[in-house]
Structure 1
């Protein structure tokens, strides 16, 4: 029974019993008054009869009780029998017509000295006043009117209280922190003023959250974005390079390109120069759109920096040639030295290369390009190209398909610990095994797998390993997280398989966390919502990964109802020395206040970093300082 029906039923029951009680009390008092009046009237007739008997007794005329004066008096007083006694001797007796209806008797003293008294047997005072048919009909009609009024009152209260269930549900959602659901659950029924008040408060709260998200985006933009070009600034570039390196050097292959423009002053003022830079930024951004994990930033007034990982030397040279050709074509025709106004220098790097040395090599390549005296590019190449990355796309596809067929993908697990040092969950990483037993890192084969369209199959095989092998053999409270790419989430066949898998293993679903990259979660919200909703309904949790890698609004976190949030390692690197990164995390945590979102840090390498993160309010962390990824065993 819902709340309005329960309240209405209780209220109408109280009302009905109250009316019936009042009616019963009224009837009792009416009957009592009526009985009292009837008794008084009978007593008056008896008093008259007693006076007549005394008068006749004193006159000596009480010889017979059959005189004409006695029957009318007996009839008025409802006396059915009269007996004259002297002591125990019966002197006279008169039986009326209704002698059998006598119900009580009274004595009237006539002569105290001779002990002569009259015994009167009386009928009930209400003998002549029994209810007639019309009286019964009147009583029945009264009861029907009362019941009708109660029914109408029940319907009226039901109408007035039918919105209470909605109000109660909205309040329950508010207490659980589900403000968006409570805001969407509007009601136009009674009590309207409560619903209007709740709707107004929730609307203002939603506006405040959006304003907080805009403020958070403002802080991020002013910290990591260039105000003129709206791409990353030098601090953003340094953070990304720090994230791509560790104490042993760079952690991936790639190239860094420095693009510098000359002779910008003759363009005719600051506005024209800014328009020219923005035009180049717009075209370069479109060119880099297909380059996964690329970094685009403004390093100085007239110098742009581009970092692209997981790219071969040949592809890096092709990209450099396209960039210099694009920038040369965008140069204004009125520029005097148009053939020598843009130059590009690049440095190709591999695993273990020093970050600072890499920047110096890129600057040396830029100077070499400028020395040539024309719009040109120069690549600083040490000739050391990683042999693992030198495979062609055909060889990569063959290798990945064979690894899938032979199930040669190995799952590695890295633990995530909370602030109390307890295991929060384990994140699963994948490495491919060569036929000779060598393990190939995910940073090498995942970009190729994305190009070949094999990511859904690889991630499906990883998830099967977690569900069928790791979770059944792990502790009952063990939780594992698995990364899902955009290609996998958009694959309908994979989502149908995932739905079937989670339905078959409903008991294991709460122990699964699915991680989605921030770029995907924020850029494809409309397309992802049905996919993410399906995962939530199955009981699994959602996590957004690589937060802070891009400068985007954090509004998508609450709209996507993510349960966890993982900060990118570029924010964590030496955070105890970076006030701007601390400001960003404080702003992000402030925007997630009063939500159930857990914030986790990635790539923690030092104790000072973890201490700073704990002070800021981060609840858990993972990284080399805690433990490196190991082959997952499920124990």
Structure 2
């Protein structure tokens, strides 16, 4: 199932501001319409008034001309005074024969064409005669005056004050809705903890109470989902009695490690003798007590070996997988393990001198899991034939990769850092379509004394052994940043950084200064990867540095997810961009329902976050098809893209020895 993000559009304008703007606009528009309508009405009333007055004056002139023949002198005696009082600027009495009388007002500024009103009125009692008048409209020369318009000004002032008071009242009434809206924005931003409890002023109150109840139920459901996912992963890959890995997880790790081209290690089987007699006489409770004691001893013994795996393979069998430890290197460990188990007090049913046996075999690159288990079983039977508790080794010749102590590792690593530094190979990570490249993962490689390229799985235990992990991480980060700044193409790059370095104050300060000196646009293209197991083990110490990295613009990636069964609480806390599955989960996933169940559980843990899941170690079409159907957003592996050699330009940089 593919998870899609639905874009939620949220208005940037608050509800109160929108209502205030709406009310203000309505009131202003009402005042404007009222003012315009009133002005037009006043003007029309004035025009109608003077038109009525002019009609009366024309009627007088018509009557005077009808009663007696009047000449120009007659009209000149009384008509100009009446016309001036009426703001008539010109008057002409005319007929077809000519002009009988004409009047033009002097010492008066002629009105503009838009202001003047001209009327041509025929005389009813004197056919053939007409009067043409030009007069000034009313209010043409009037200006604002406080006295006459004080009532209108006061009305507008009252409206404005009422509007201001109404807006303040509306803001007070809708303050609760603003608080509720802010709470909703926090929820949409993913800050659920801050929005869990609402403010007492929130309104409407039922909506606020409903949000609080839903958030509580959501958090409880998420916690239950997290517990359920952890339960699924635990029951799928862990033994419930001892807490060690079960047979499924052990087979996954052994198959992945044995098929690696550059791997070596040892497989050890530990078996309790006379198990059936123990169950018959001591019962399940007594047998479980012995198994728990053995599990505790074995778990403590393998702590000094990095990436070691302890599993309860069968009811009476334990299996131990040691990485990069083979042949005679394991003999001291087997002797110490024998002494530690002999200190346990087995039930009286078992022979105190012959109650457990161990068989060991070593393996190199490209061996089959089934054959290795057969070899370990044959060695264990040989140990049983000796008649006392102890161990036996299956004799075989394996291709030894190397055998170095701390002195040789330090010499090699110091020579590498004094030279060109670690080489960074690239491997692309593609999206589901297999064409869109999400980023490149930069893989650290070094050359040994013979010029052979060593993978990180081979040289990193040596780095940790001599305490040079901080130096190596500084060199890797520096080269990655330089690569991002000088590359012609714009790609995203992911670098691996050890969690131990992120907990060191010296490295954190150096990393902070290096990132602050880098443009934000470049940091947005950098992804920092950390291992899941180490992250969970040192989460509190590494969290401040991880948050600083994210705040500066880099993205976080958690890789090797599923190598060990741990809680996924870190997903919600640091919000990584991607979680990369361990290759042992992806290998032959189409044939392993338990691995598919684990992947579904991981996808469920990331469902409510922005974190996506990537599959690592994809080598076949069937694996790629299954992980895509389950819901991963992308993948990495030889099927999608092989490792590429270092960038040619990095050979020019030779300053790693000055760190």
How would you bin the TM-score normalised by the shorter chain?
A: 0.7 to 0.9
Cross-structure match for 2:21: 10
Cross-structure match for 2:434: 421
Cross-structure match for 1:233: 246
1:245 matches 2:258: yes
Superposed displacement of residue 209, structure 1 = 3.3
Superposed displacement of residue 519, structure 1 = 0.9
Superposed displacement of residue 380, structure 1 = 0.7
| Alpha-carbon spacing, 1:529–1:101, altered in 2? closer, same or farther (3 Å) | farther
Query: Is the Cα contact below 8 Å between 1:327 and 1:342 reproduced in 2?
Result: no
TM-score after normalising by structure 2: 0.72
Q: Secondary structure at the match of 2:443?
A: strand
Cross-structure match for 1:296: 310
1:355 matches 2:363: no
Deviates more, 1:426-435 or 1:3-12: 3-12
Superposed displacement of residue 588, structure 1 = 2.9
**What is the aligned residue count?**
596
Deviates more, 1:234-243 or 1:203-212: 203-212
Query: Is the Cα contact below 8 Å between 2:580 and 2:616 reproduced in 1?
Result: yes
Deviates more, 1:391-400 or 1:298-307: 391-400
Pick from 226, 236, 240: which aligns with 1:223?
Answer: 236
Cross-structure match for 1:181: 191
Cross-structure match for 1:592: 606
Q: Secondary structure at the match of 2:348?
A: coil
Cross-structure match for 1:49: none
Cross-structure match for 1:432: 446
Pick from 478, 485, 492: which aligns with 2:505?
Answer: 492
Cross-structure match for 1:391: 404
Pick from 268, 272, 279: which aligns with 1:260?
Answer: 272
Q: Distance in 1 between matches of 2:467 and 2:493?
A: 25
Q: Secondary structure at the match of 2:313?
A: strand
Query: Is the Cα contact below 8 Å between 1:328 and 1:342 reproduced in 2?
Result: no
Superposed displacement of residue 341, structure 1 = 5.6
Cross-structure match for 2:288: 274
Question: Structure 2 stretches of 5 or more lacking a match?
Answer: 1-10, 47-67, 72-83, 89-144, 650-659
Superposed displacement of residue 605, structure 1 = 2.5
Deviates more, 1:600-609 or 1:262-271: 262-271
Cross-structure match for 1:285: 299
Q: Distance in 1 between matches of 2:260 and 2:599?
A: 24
| Alpha-carbon spacing, 1:17–1:281, altered in 2? closer, same or farther (3 Å) | same
Superposed displacement of residue 483, structure 1 = 1.0
Cross-structure match for 2:390: 377
Cross-structure match for 1:443: 457
1:402 matches 2:415: yes
Q: Distance in 2 between matches of 1:301 and 1:608?
A: 33
Question: Structure 1 stretches of 5 or more lacking a match?
Answer: 36-84, 89-99, 105-131
Cross-structure match for 1:542: 556
Q: Distance in 1 between matches of 2:642 and 2:36?
A: 85
Query: Is the Cα contact below 8 Å between 1:167 and 1:195 reproduced in 2?
Result: no
| Alpha-carbon spacing, 1:594–1:422, altered in 2? closer, same or farther (3 Å) | farther
| Alpha-carbon spacing, 1:137–1:356, altered in 2? closer, same or farther (3 Å) | same
Superposed displacement of residue 294, structure 1 = 1.5
Q: Pairwise mapping of residues 128-207 of structure 1 onto structure 2 (< 5 A)?
A: 146-159=159-172, 160-161=174-175, 164=178, 167=181, 170-171=184-185, 174=188, 180-185=190-195, 188=199, 189-191=201-203, 193=205, 194-207=207-220
Deviates more, 1:575-584 or 1:623-632: 623-632
Query: Is the Cα contact below 8 Å between 2:496 and 2:530 reproduced in 1?
Result: yes
| Alpha-carbon spacing, 1:203–1:399, altered in 2? closer, same or farther (3 Å) | same
Superposed displacement of residue 447, structure 1 = 0.8
Once the two structures are superposed, what CA deviation does each residue of 1:559-586 show, in whole Å capped at 9, x if it has no partner?
3211112121111222222222223323
Q: Distance in 2 between matches of 1:276 and 1:435?
A: 48
Q: Distance in 2 between matches of 1:300 and 1:319?
A: 22
Cross-structure match for 2:525: 511
Q: Distance in 2 between matches of 1:195 and 1:453?
A: 55
Q: Distance in 1 between matches of 2:587 and 2:28?
A: 74
Query: Is the Cα contact below 8 Å between 1:312 and 1:390 reproduced in 2?
Result: no
Q: Pairwise mapping of residues 448-463 of structure 1 onto structure 2 (< 5 A)?
A: 448-463=462-477
Q: Distance in 2 between matches of 1:267 and 1:483?
A: 53
| Alpha-carbon spacing, 1:247–1:327, altered in 2? closer, same or farther (3 Å) | closer
Q: Secondary structure at the match of 2:343?
A: helix
Query: Is the Cα contact below 8 Å between 1:412 and 1:430 reproduced in 2?
Result: yes
Cross-structure match for 2:320: 306
Superposed displacement of residue 239, structure 1 = 0.9
Q: Distance in 2 between matches of 1:626 and 1:616?
A: 18
Query: Is the Cα contact below 8 Å between 2:186 and 2:194 reproduced in 1?
Result: no
| Alpha-carbon spacing, 1:419–1:367, altered in 2? closer, same or farther (3 Å) | same
Q: Distance in 2 between matches of 1:525 and 1:180?
A: 22
Once the two structures are superposed, what CA deviation does each residue of 1:526-548 show, in whole Å capped at 9, x if it has no partner?
33332222222222222211122
| Alpha-carbon spacing, 1:17–1:464, altered in 2? closer, same or farther (3 Å) | same
Q: Distance in 2 between matches of 1:157 and 1:282?
A: 69
